Amino acid sequence: MGLLEKTKREELELTNTKDQLKRTQEEKDRKYEEILSELSKVEDELKSNNSEKAKYVKEFEKANKLALEKQKELSDLEGKHIALEKVKEQRTKDNEKINKQVNSLSRMIVSKNEDLNREKSEKEALEKEIANIDKSIEATIQQITKDKQDNEKLNSKLTKDLEDKHQEIEVLKKILKMLKIELSQLLKL
């Protein structure tokens, strides 16, 4: 009777171990999904930053073109200044005004360049972060794959052990039945 109880207890323990492994696998699958979701968010943020960068580049090109146009206009005014001494004072004022615009545009260009450099640094930081996340995901995937393989091996072993225990129980039941029959026959004597 003690061996039968021990065998049943071992069968119960094996079943519990199998259930625990199942829960562990489900938890790892959930963590994997969370990491994939986080990566998707980071990629969306990188796309948004690239869009901002493209906008700044377009504004820079527009400002640069305007600066070149103003520079040409300034050169034309300076040529006319030599030929038109009578309007020297007015042209000087015009030039000062244009210089202010050019300086303003130059400051704007410097500011846009600083913005572009900052965006570039942020993009590089994000790319580095994504690379680190990719490495982390790869390591997690490898670990999950290994854990799945280990779980499959363990499940296979546990299943075989359970089958063996079932067979042992059946054998013990037959032996017990035979012992009862023999005991019954002995008692009749």
Question: Which string of DSSP letters, residue by residue, matches 83-149?
Answer: H-GGGHHHHHHHHHHHHHHHHHHHHHHHHHHHHHHHHHHHHHHHHHHHHHHHHHHHHHHHHHHHHHH
pLDDT value at residue 82: 63
pLDDT value at residue 57: 75
pLDDT value at residue 167: 93
Low-confidence ranges of the chain (pLDDT < 70): 1, 77-84, 86-88, 91, 189
pLDDT value at residue 23: 87
**pLDDT tens for residues 130-143?**
999 999 999 999 99
pTM exceeds 0.75 for this model: no
**Domains of the chain by range and CATH?**
2-188 (1.10.287.1490)
